[in-house]
Amino acid sequence: MNRPYNVLFLCTGNSARSILAEALLNRLGGGRFDAYSAGSQPKGAVHPLALELLQAQGFPTADLRSKSWDEFEAADAPKMDFVFTVCDSAAAESCPVWPGQPMTAHWGLPDPAAVEGALDARRKAFKETFVALQARLRLFTNLGIDKLDRLALKREIQQIGRMVGESV
């Protein structure tokens, strides 16, 4: 392939998990991937604790925004090679039909934005989500994508989504 792989992370609100995944893959991908995120019912704003965590880790955040997956159905939208759902509710929804038949997998994680209570507990939830996504995306970026046939690649990305026990 003579262009970066386009990867879309979907979640319902597009304010936390999918945003973290977008930022992580754009860094970890080393130019081999262009990551995007969207939601079926976007919140309209990135969660402040997601922004705080990313900024503390040295990630650029100025271009991150909560947006609808409708943007990626448009004729001029980038053609996706991979689409990953990162929340259970988005995985259960009827997703649009993406042009080009991208590879899809469900990489569900608990919603850190749903954690209530003390600020430290909420920050810890975001950090745990960040670490889990980082572990999955390191595996993903190390796959020999161009060397695997479609069936083997599908099996690998689904297996990455079943990872459990990632810890901070």
- Residue among 87, 91, 125, 133 flagged as catalytic: 87
Structure tokens at 100: 């080009």
7, 8, 11, 16: the catalytic one is: 11
Task: State how far Cα 50 lies from the chain centre.
Answer: 13
Q: Which residues pair with 34 in a beta bridge?
A: 6
Say if CB 17 and CB 106 are below 8 A apart.
no
- Beta carbons of 56 and 29 less than 8 angstroms apart: no
Active site residue 157: no
Separation CA 120–CA 49 (nearest Å): 11
- Choose the catalytic residue: 28, 77, 95, 115: 95
Is 95 part of the annotated catalytic residue set? yes
Based on the residue annotation, tell me whether 106 is a catalytic residue of this protein: no
Which amino acids are annotated catalytic?
Answer: 11, 87, 95
